[in-house]
Chains A and B, each alone.
Chain A
Amino acid sequence: MEIKYIILGVDNLESAIEFFKKLGFSDKGTISIKEDLNGILIENDVAMTSFILTEDIRGKRPMFILATDDCLREYQQLLSNGVNIKDSPYYLPIGLLAEFDDYSGNEFFILEMRAYGNDEN
């Protein structure tokens, strides 16, 4: 699994976006990860990893979103391996997510991105 997004807590969203623009990133709009976790997606054309800037985890550790091609399979595998699941798979406009932590205070999501607009049979 590769890191798709890093969720960064920021004190002020506007100044954080300005800072990332200086690094060559651009504002791709709002993104919702959970009801109480929303942010701004910041991407760079060449970087593999993007950031989600949010004031919702201000002062806390960054969170990581790992990409998978099958969230339910990954979730089952994590369960079988004894990983502590915080949130079983749930649906968002971007796809299917599940949340777990590493017992050390770091929080992770697995995300299966789904292209709902491109449904073709």
Chain B
Amino acid sequence: MTKTDFYYKLANNNEIYRFGACDKKIIGRSENFSFHFVLQGNADVYLNNRTIKLYPDCFLILNSGTHFTSLINSPTEAQILSLSFDVKFINDFINSWTRKNHHLLNGNIPSRLEPYFFSETMHSFNGDIKYNIAHLGRLISKGSRNELLMNEYLYHTLINYFVISYKEIFQRAEKLQVSNQATRTEIYRRLAIAKDYLYSNYDKDINIEDITSEACMSRTHLFSMFKQVYDLTPHQFLVQIRLKRAQFLLRKTDYSVNQIVSLVGFDSPNSFIRLFRTKFHVTPLIYRLSA
């Protein structure tokens, strides 16, 4: 146990586990629905024959029963926060909160715990969920055992997740020009795998065959469906990930621009600077000075 390690099981069987490590391998099975956040550093998670690389800008959901291997191999300490939700707690939540707040989900209320809602994909870690997890992090850093407050943060994390999943899953899946609901769900699931692949391999030289093979879709199908759902081609999506990661490195590290160019997978500093300026309306160096 390091000084940042923390484990607490609440009376309702929800669990909070935070640990820090530079070198650690965990082989396990998710007993409950669990949320995994990388607060610092990065971690690789192997599940369902694919590798997901988690950074602090994304979080991952694991379903009950999923086998996974988590690998941390980092020169600086990575910090992981995992929240595990008891199935009964989630079902009670679905029955109470989602029915009272159906307007936030535009009427798309799950009648039970559906994998559709708990798609094992990466989600953007920003907005309310990031604020609430930061508050929870501060609480456990103080060593507090205030269970009522922990419960409040966990309950709101679920609220935030449901709103995110509605936006990221329902609203996006509905953009697919496919009439059959089951087909739409399956296509969305495959596109989410393609998206996770881009997030997890953005720093490598990705070719389209790698993505199509990962998502089990033809090249034409993938291009057309990906654009419908994410409003960008896979390549444009990849460039956005690289630019966001470069922005993070400019702000948080002392790496030179040339080092960052290579760390995030761009071919040349010139194209990186041009793309960065187009997206953020400022050059990388001026951004760093003002950050």
From known contacts A119-B126, A119-B127, A121-B248, infer whether A72 and B56 are also in contact, taking CB-CB under 8 Å. no
**Scoring A residues 104 to 121 as 1 if CB is less than 8 Å from chain B, else 0, what string do you get?**
000000001010100111
Q: Is the CB of B128 within 8 A of A91?
A: yes
A76 at interface, CB cutoff 8 A: yes
Chain A positions within 8 Å of B244 at CB level: 121
Chain B positions within 8 Å of A62 at CB level: none
A contacts with B: majority SS: mixed
Chain A positions within 8 Å of B251 at CB level: 120
A64 at interface, CB cutoff 8 A: no
A73 at interface, CB cutoff 8 A: yes
Within 8 A of B (CB), among A77-121: 79-80, 89, 91, 96, 112, 114, 116, 119-121
Give 27 A-B contacts (CB < 8 Å), ordered by A residue. A70-B135, A72-B135, A72-B149, A72-B152, A72-B153, A72-B156, A73-B135, A73-B139, A75-B152, A76-B148, A76-B149, A76-B152, A89-B156, A91-B128, A91-B163, A96-B128, A112-B131, A114-B127, A114-B131, A116-B127, A119-B127, A119-B130, A120-B248, A121-B55, A121-B56, A121-B125, A121-B126
For B126, give the chain A residue with the smallest CB separation.
Answer: A119
B contacts with A: majority SS: helix
Measured CB to CB, the closest approach of chain B to A79, in angstroms, equals: 8
Chain B contact patch, size range: 20 to 34
Residue from A73, A75, A79 whose CB has the most chain B CB atoms within 10 Å: A73
B63 at interface, CB cutoff 8 A: no
5 more contacts with CB within 8 A, not counting A76-B148, A76-B152, are A70-B135, A119-B127, A120-B247, A121-B57, A121-B248
From known contacts A70-B135, A72-B153, infer whether A114 and B57 are also in contact, taking CB-CB under 8 Å. no
Chain B positions within 8 Å of A72 at CB level: 132, 135, 149, 152-153, 156
Measured CB to CB, the closest approach of chain B to A27, in angstroms, equals: 28
Chain B positions within 8 Å of A76 at CB level: 146, 148-149, 152
> What is the bound-complex CA distance between A98 and B57, given in angstroms?
28
> What is the bound-complex CA distance between A120 and B149, given in angstroms?
26
> What is the bound-complex CA distance between A35 and B76, given in angstroms?
47
- Residues of A whose CB lies within 8 Å of any CB of B are 70, 72-73, 75-76, 79-80, 89, 91, 96, 112, 114, 116, 119-121
Chain A positions within 8 Å of B163 at CB level: 91
For B55, give the chain A residue with the smallest CB separation.
Answer: A121
Enumerate the 4 nearest inter-chain pairs by beta-carbon distance, A residue then B residue, closest first.
A121-B57, A119-B126, A72-B152, A76-B149
> What is the bound-complex CA distance between A80 and B151, given in angstroms?
14
> What is the bound-complex CA distance between A72 and B132, given in angstroms?
8
Measured CB to CB, the closest approach of chain B to A77, in angstroms, equals: 9
Within 8 A of A (CB), among B124-159: 125-128, 130-132, 135, 139, 146, 148-149, 152-153, 156, 159
> What is the bound-complex CA distance between A27 and B196, given in angstroms?
44
For B160, give the chain A residue with the smallest CB separation.
Answer: A91
For B245, give the chain A residue with the smallest CB separation.
Answer: A121
> What is the bound-complex CA distance between A116 and B125, given in angstroms?
12
For A72, give the chain B residue with the smallest CB separation.
Answer: B152
**Scoring B residues 164 to 204 as 1 if CB is less than 8 Å from chain A, else 0, what string do you get?**
00000000000000000000000000000000000000000
